[in-house]
Structure 1
Amino acid sequence: MIKTYLILTILCLMGLSLQAQYAYFGNRGTISFDKVTYTKARMRQISNDMSSKMMDRGMGFMEHLDKMPDSHTDKLNLYFDENATVLMPEESPATAKSNEGGKMRTATMSSGAGRGGRNQGGNRGSGGNPRGMFRGSASKNGKVLFQDLKAMTADIQLDIDEKYLLAETLDSITWRFTEEFRTIAGVNCRRVNGATKDSLYLIAYYTEEIPVSGGPALSHGLPGMILGLVIPEMHIQYWATHIAYSNHLVPTEWRDKKSKQMKLEEFSALFGRYMPRNRQNESAKKRILEQLVY
């Protein structure tokens, strides 16, 4: 009897060990993010960074600073697979209805899922096939950030006076690991402190439960997905609110074929003179990245 009990115990322990060994780690799906911009603090910084000539032009605007809200939140979706990520604004129900010719089904998909926690097939974040949601949405919802994690390249699509598709190489980020942990969207995350090669300070929280080295705002380079990103200098934060796993690859329909394609350096030369300058030795590329990426 004792021998039989021991055998059963050993078999149970072996089963638990095998189950742990083959634990599921999803590497495809959608993450919903809240991008929080602390409006007043950011506008004060931009006004301080402006040259005196630009400052004179912007004085009328800055007079209304006290009437601005303290912060503003944008809803974003990050689609990811093992090779790439694409970050774009979440469609509002009205936009989704327009894009799909008034089909209520799409409007419901864009607005119906709950906030927070993980989901194997939730509505918000579109755990199902997102291809239909991409068509036409880039031109109507603004900036799209794509990163190829294998080739270490990025594409930035935006609409100013016309549509642009900017190509860039992903710059390396120096990360320093800490022993601080916190839960984001129901997932345990570890804090790391980072710096870009242009000395922009970053705070990130990543999880190894999603084994994809990506994150919002072209963040990357960690052994897992970044679910929290803080850029103190720019008064901007990104926080994941919902995770939906799927079997779908990152779609490519977000690219607008009418976009003017150029390298980020070319765009910098074209529009860099309009960007605020806060340090004489600051590169035009950094100013463009700060305004477009984050």
Structure 2
Amino acid sequence: MMKTIIRILFIVILFNTEASAQLVTFLQRGHIQYERKINLHARMRKPAAGEDGGWYESLKKNTPQFLVTNFEYYFDGNTSLYKPGVSEQVNNPFVRESSNTVYTMLDSSISIAQKQLFEQSLVIKDSVRRINWKITSETRKIAGFDCRRANAIILDSVYVVAFYTDAIIPSGGPESFTGLPGTILGVALPHEHITWFATKVVMEDVRKESLKPPTKGKATNNKGAIEIVEKATKDWGDGRNALLKALML
């Protein structure tokens, strides 16, 4: 009798283990929807000591605290395209980088990004950014996937927190964030007051027309883009650094 019970328990455990294993899916291609949120109030310049703060209060009152925009990310193996959702207002005066489109080929480490600088569109082709990630033990669930946290510094001073899942194999992510052992589903720049988090992951075949690099704009590379910004903002003072940082994210 005892042997029969043990045999039944063994069969039940084996069945459950196999069933659980079948539920684990490692995605190579598909479509991810990201929501980007920018805290506009936190990014506003506060009045200096002794300065009349009436303008600040008025601006704060007439500006929504958060600017929320949606982006689409299509990936097939090591090729991906990140772009604004079709309904987004890419000419929003608060954030020019709303129109960023980033095409990435991880196997050849090439990135082609379309970015807006004032009224000019730039197509920036350069190497994929190398990020020195430090993976931690912290985890959280994003869009139904278990993710692990990693931290990094980019552009010399921008602190990045990212969450990736190894259940989605390509090592890409939103904007130009790549280089982790899986796909990045969440990014936060705490000091810049910006976050990107996946809201939906769809396993589907990706059509070739969904993975075309951007072509509309002045062709350049990272160095050329920086020179264009510096020339256009030579009298901006500290404002130049903020614009450069936004453009190179």
CA distance in 1, matches of 2:120, 2:32: 29
CA shift, 1:213, in A, is 0.7
Runs (5+) with no aligned partner, structure 1: 49-60, 95-140
CA shift, 1:214, in A, is 1.0
Picking from 227, 230, 238, the partner of 2:188 is 230
Paired residue for 2:247? 292
CA shift, 1:15, in A, is 8.7
CA distance in 2, matches of 1:176, 1:44: 32
CA shift, 1:161, in A, is 2.8
CA shift, 1:13, in A, is 2.3
Paired residue for 1:31? 32
Cα displacement string for residues 189-221 of structure 1 (whole angstroms, at most 9, x for unaligned residues): 111111125232100111111111111121111
Cα 1:254–1:173 shift into 2, 3 Å? closer
Runs (5+) with no aligned partner, structure 2: 49-54, 90-97
SS in 1 for 2:14: helix
Cα displacement string for residues 87-139 of structure 1 (whole angstroms, at most 9, x for unaligned residues): 11111299xxxxxxxxxxxxxxxxxxxxxxxxxxxxxxxxxxxxxxxxxxxxx
Picking from 104, 107, 114, the partner of 1:157 is 114
User: Relative to total residues, which structure has the larger strand share, 1 or 2?
Assistant: 2
CA distance in 2, matches of 1:28, 1:269: 37
1:187 maps to amino acid: F
Cα displacement string for residues 233-281 of structure 1 (whole angstroms, at most 9, x for unaligned residues): 211111111111112266344523x4321112112112224286549xx
Paired residue for 1:65? 59
CA shift, 1:64, in A, is 4.8
Paired residue for 1:132? none
CA distance in 1, matches of 2:115, 2:77: 25
Paired residue for 2:93? none
- Aligned residue runs from structure 1 range 172-191, under 5 A: 172-191=130-149
1:73 maps to amino acid: V
SS in 2 for 1:216: coil
Paired residue for 2:103? 146
**In the alignment, is the contact (CA less than 8 A) between 1:146 and 1:155 conserved in 2?**
yes
2:226 maps to amino acid: S
Cα displacement string for residues 30-65 of structure 1 (whole angstroms, at most 9, x for unaligned residues): 1111100011222328x99xxxxxxxxxxxx86853
Paired residue for 1:52? none
SS in 2 for 1:173: coil
2:111 maps to amino acid: A
SS in 2 for 1:217: coil
**In the alignment, is the contact (CA less than 8 A) between 1:40 and 1:65 conserved in 2?**
no
**In the alignment, is the contact (CA less than 8 A) between 1:272 and 1:287 conserved in 2?**
no
Q: Percent identity?
A: 28
CA distance in 1, matches of 2:101, 2:107: 19
1:168 maps to amino acid: D
CA distance in 1, matches of 2:73, 2:207: 12
Paired residue for 1:53? none
Paired residue for 2:21? 20
CA distance in 2, matches of 1:65, 1:76: 27
Paired residue for 1:243? 201
TM-score by length of 2: 0.76
**In the alignment, is the contact (CA less than 8 A) between 1:202 and 1:232 conserved in 2?**
yes
Cα 1:277–1:190 shift into 2, 3 Å? farther
**In the alignment, is the contact (CA less than 8 A) between 1:172 and 1:197 conserved in 2?**
no
SS in 2 for 1:248: coil
RMSD, aligned α-carbons = 3.7
| 269-278 vs 24-33, greater mean Cα deviation | 269-278
CA shift, 1:180, in A, is 1.5
Picking from 73, 81, 87, the partner of 1:92 is 87
**In the alignment, is the contact (CA less than 8 A) between 2:75 and 2:211 conserved in 1?**
no
| 243-252 vs 8-17, greater mean Cα deviation | 8-17
* Corresponding residue pairs, total: 231
CA distance in 2, matches of 1:184, 1:18: 23
1:255 maps to amino acid: P
